[in-house]
Amino acid sequence: MTDTTPAAEVGIDPRWQRYGQALVRSMAEVRAETPEEVHPVLMETADYWLSLGLAIGTSQPEAAARLLGLIEAEEPGRAELGSDAEHFLAEALA
């Protein structure tokens, strides 16, 4: 069976497509609360900050942990972020 999605038609790497779909789904609540015309900017911004966080996390894990502590000081919030991260990874890297 041939994939006939627009991404497949223009030759986008399926791994990149899966990541993009996971990003869109993870931002569903934000997208629902914003005008559709700003969605491309929101997605580009989210992709940039996610990429930045991943770069920091891989090159400087101690600094990443400190930043996460600044961003989410409460333990329940960090636990929720951890759970969200697991779901995102499962979807993006399936």
Indicate the domain borders of the chain. 11-92
Give whole-number Cα distances, 14 to 18, 21, 73, 86, in Å: 6, 10, 36, 20
Report CA torsion sign: 67, 76, 51, 47. Answer: negative
Q: Which residue has the higher pLDDT, 4 or 16?
A: 16
Tokens 């491309």 belong to residue: 40
Q: What number of CA atoms fall less than 13 Å from residue 60's CA on the CB side?
A: 9
pTM: 0.75
10-47 pLDDT, tens digit each: 788 999 999 999 999 999 999 999 999 999 999 999 99
